[in-house]
Homo-oligomer: A and B are copies of this chain.
Amino acid sequence: MVSLKDIAQRCGVSTATVSKALNGQPDIGEDTRSRILRIADELGYMANASARALKTNRSYNIGVVFVDPMHGGLAHEFFSTVLDSIRGEAERHGYDITFINRGVGQRETSYLQHCRYRGVDGVVIASADFTDPMILELVQADLPVVTIDHIFNNRISVVSDNRKGMDALVRYAAARGHRKLALIHGEMTSVTVGRLTGFHRACEELGIRVPERWIRQGVFHDSKSCCALTKELLRGEDRPTCIFFPDDYSCIGGLNAIHEMGLRVPDDISAVGYDGIPLSRIMSPVLTTWRQDTEALGTVAAAKLIELIEHPRTAILDRVIVEGRLQEGGSVENLYR
């Protein structure tokens, strides 16, 4: 590998000079600089990230915590889109990303330890169990952190407005005559709390009473459990006319349940998703859902983190809300027609 030393030799200068020339320091003569740059290019020089990180304590590497909610969390379009946009934005700023997990090799370690080991400049917590003490340790550590869809005190968080999304969806259905609403929600995370709040407030304001048995807890991104819950909701005489699902993916399980019971969407039962993953657009009928700007979620998280890393004094430690929008598909029937 060609190093500073090689360039220095070829140019008849010291490594210090080469380093400064390449880094654009001002105290290098123009002719010397251009000569160094040319030779560096000729030799195909590329800095050694390890050496640089060792010396400067800056790795240009950001950690991403991505704990699979179910196994294979990455496999879900929602998360992988977020991940991909984090990576894209990081790349644009010259950062690479490293997945942070527990256990470096055989040794079992904490997330924080892994971060220290790799010397990441900061961390995006994209998906995790926020009650896990190791996550708390990480958040409280002296390390730039941005969380997605979860708020910590004095930390930057990028969140989608779950309350608003749910509110909009409820109003959409209500505007089409639906008054018998059922909701299947995910695990009791802050995301779910937001959505439940939105749901209940909207219902209250619209004067819609939702029986307790029509509000069920399921599991995010799990179409199986969603299928089962949907069947329960549809058993018996008194049925909801519209079901709100925890997310688009598990919604598919719900749709299957509906079909299996000999009912059709939206003719007999209306269905509403959440997320707006690409799949929701190519389904038939296109799913009516709340389209989260997953792209922005990841991009903003990465951008904010990098800002925090590079300008720690001026960065504002607060939440950033990423807007979503209603995707009107064909899965909700207009009862007024």
Q: Which chain A residues have a beta carbon within 8 Å of chain B's beta carbons? A: 1, 44, 46-51, 53-54, 59-60, 68, 72, 74-77, 80-81, 83-84, 87, 91, 93-94, 96-99, 101, 103-106, 109, 113, 116-119, 223-224, 252-253, 255-256, 259-260, 278-279, 282-284
**Copies of this chain held together in the complex:** 2
4 tightest A-B contacts by CB? A94-B105, A50-B53, A74-B84, A50-B50
Of chain B, the residue at the smallest CB distance from A222 is B282
Task: Decide if A116 touches B1 in the complex (CB within 8 Å).
Answer: yes
Across-interface contacts of A50 in B (CB, < 8 A): 49-51, 53-54, 59, 119
Checking B75, B93, B119 against A80 with a beta-carbon cut-off of 8 angstroms, the contacting residue is: B75
Across-interface contacts of A49 in B (CB, < 8 A): 50, 117-119
Task: Decide if A46 touches B113 in the complex (CB within 8 Å).
Answer: yes
Task: Decide if A96 touches B94 in the complex (CB within 8 Å).
Answer: no
The docked-state distance in angstroms from the alpha carbon of A91 to that of B100 is: 10
Q: List 23 A-B contacts (CB under 8 A).
A: A1-B116, A46-B116, A46-B117, A47-B117, A48-B117, A49-B50, A49-B119, A50-B50, A50-B59, A50-B119, A51-B54, A74-B87, A75-B77, A87-B99, A91-B99, A93-B105, A97-B98, A223-B282, A252-B282, A252-B283, A253-B282, A256-B284, A260-B284
How close is A252's CB to chain B, nearest CB, in angstroms? 5
The docked-state distance in angstroms from the alpha carbon of A113 to that of B253 is: 46
How close is A90's CB to chain B, nearest CB, in angstroms? 9
How close is A182's CB to chain B, nearest CB, in angstroms? 20
User: Assuming A91-B99, A97-B99, A279-B279, what are 7 further A-B pairs, CB within 8 angstroms?
Assistant: A44-B113, A46-B117, A48-B119, A72-B84, A74-B80, A77-B77, A256-B284
Across-interface contacts of A77 in B (CB, < 8 A): 75, 77
The docked-state distance in angstroms from the alpha carbon of A7 to that of B141 is: 22
Across-interface contacts of A279 in B (CB, < 8 A): 252, 279
